[in-house]
Amino acid sequence: MKKFILLVLLTACFTNARSQDFGDKLFANPAFMMGTNLGKYLQVLYAQNQIDEMVKFTASETIKKYGREKVWNYYSTCNFGYEIKLKSMNTEGRYKILSYNARINATNTVVRMKTVVENDTAKVVLDNLRITY
């Protein structure tokens, strides 16, 4: 019983420490958004061909740099139908970098997704619109 209580307390402390970064904002943590992560959420939108919704989860700095139409075209022509599994999240300044193990065309690789929180919502930052897969 003592071990169980200790485990519960440690879990509560760890969870509280992690949640303080994002508070109770449902879409602010790119690694845990409503039971999933930003990469997986974008994959669901991609699979359902909800390109307009994908653009909504794109950082304003990307929209300003390339324009909404080019970003929309990028999402509509990219291949985002490969397997990904979140492995880690690191902080670089104001950005959160999500690292995924991915299986693309029968090859294991690492895919990194740069994200930023805007208006309590995690959004992806696209450094270029070059399609690589």
What does the pLDDT profile of the chain (133 residues) look like in tens digits? 444 343 444 444 444 434 445 455 667 778 877 788 999 999 999 999 999 999 999 999 999 999 999 999 999 999 888 999 999 999 999 999 999 999 988 899 999 999 999 999 999 999 988 766 5
Number of structural domains, the chain?
A: 1
Distances (CA, A) of 108 to 46, 53, 75, 77: 21, 28, 22, 22
Task: Judge whether 19 lies within some domain.
Answer: no
Q: Nearest Cα to 57, choosing from 45, 66, 67, 69?
A: 45
What is the rounded CA–CA span in Å between residue 123 and residue 39? Answer: 10
The answer to whether position 74 is within a domain reads: yes
4: in domain? no
CA distances from 117 to 29, 84, 126 (A): 8, 22, 14
Domain annotation covers residue 73 = yes
> What integer pLDDT is reported at residue 30 of this predicted model?
81
* Separation between Cα atoms, residue 67 and residue 70, nearest integer Å: 6
Distance CA 19, CA 130 (A): 34
Q: How far apart are CA 30 and CA 59, in angstroms?
A: 13
* pLDDT score, position 7: 41
> Residue 16's pLDDT is what?
41
pLDDT of residue 26: 65
Instruction: Indicate the pTM of the whole model.
Output: 0.75
Q: Is 2 part of a structural domain of the chain? A: no
In a domain, 89, yes or no: yes
Residue 30: which CATH number?
3.10.450
Print the domain residue range for 44: 26-124
